[in-house]
Amino acid sequence: MHRWKNAVAQAAAVACGLLAACGNVWAQAYPTQAVKIVVPYPPGGPTDIVARVVAQQLGEQLGQTVIVDNKPGAGGNLGAEAVARAAPDGYTLLVATTAHAINMSLFKNLNYDVQRDFAPVSLLTQGPLVLVTTPSFPAKNVAEVIALAKAKPGELNYASSGNGQSTHLAAELFATSAGVKLTHVPYKGSAPALTDVIAGQVPMFFDTMLSSMPFVKSGKLKALAVTSPSRSPAAPDIPTVAESGLPGYEVFAWNGLLAPAGTPPAVLSKLSAEMKKVLENPAVKDKFAAQGFAAAWTSPKQSADYVRAEVEKWRQAVAQSGAKVE
């Protein structure tokens, strides 16, 4: 019996060694084909911009094609569902956003769980939103927006990049904090929302600085405030919402890279290491910083902890706002 136990233990040790060796070989060989990064929004929006910058640099480092695949719809949920069901082999990844943490509480019947069904690789970017309006909008600052909304309850519309996006809940949190009623006009992404705000179809929009600031600089949009607790280095002349009449108001937008749950640890480790190189690349950092985003590499564990904290933070914000999407 003793010899049998020893034999079993030795066999188990050999098996574990073989599995570890296989995992290392797999990681060294990965990737042997094109890698697809799913963006759950239309082309041209902030998440798409981030994904394309990352994809180009990651492809150069890996020596493989990295494809950006836009799968918009349902507030980012269609693309997320597709990746959650994809083979966990490292060849299909998701650029998740603040919305995917929000959606856990906002939508009643999701076909995925952002914590259970994904293996985080790294955060990509973090940054504040900016409250922009069409240039002809009469309010020149946050205090005047609040006064206008109080004078015309429910008549002041705001655009968002979709139900459940940070651009949606940022406005809901603003309305709740200010004690006003605003009317939500959702779009299928930031780009079409911006188009209508620029055209004056909808007067205002809490958008990422990455996509909005070029239009602010060209005079096609007016920037009233940023949502961070302190002013953004990318636009130091724009005041914060908190200093403009709503103390304590704070919203950050983020993007993160996720793989399907069950992706081999060795592959996740390699992706994590490569993403660290991507996000520490000076050219990549400069591209994001110029538009108000900071490159934000985190380890897989740190990323998982961050997503968990965001899910809880936005659960409370959704409950407070009363927002719900079927």
pLDDT in tens, 110-152: 999 999 999 999 999 999 999 999 999 999 999 999 999 999 9
Domain 26-127+253-321 matching CATH 3.40.50.2300: the answer reads no
- Tokens 């990318």, located at residue: 234
Q: What is the 3-state secondary structure (H, E, C) of 204-273?
A: EEEEEHHHHHHHHHCCCCEEEEECCCCCCCCCCCCCECHHHCCCCCCCEEEEEEEEECCCCHHHHHHHHH
Round to whole Å and give the CA distance between 254 and 305.
Answer: 14
Domain positions in the chain are: 1-25, 26-127+253-321, 128-244
**Beta partners for 39?**
70
Query: So what's the pLDDT on residue 318?
Result: 87
pLDDT in tens, 246-280: 998 999 889 999 999 999 999 999 999 999 999 99
Look up the CATH superfamily of 128-244: Periplasmic binding protein-like II (3.40.190.10)
CB 241 within 8 A of CB 177: no
Could you say which residues of the chain have pLDDT below 50?
5, 8, 16, 18-23, 26
Token pair belonging to 7: 């034999």
Round to whole Å and give the CA distance between 49 and 54.
Answer: 9
Beta-carbon contacts of residue 16 (< 8 Å; ≥ 6 apart): none
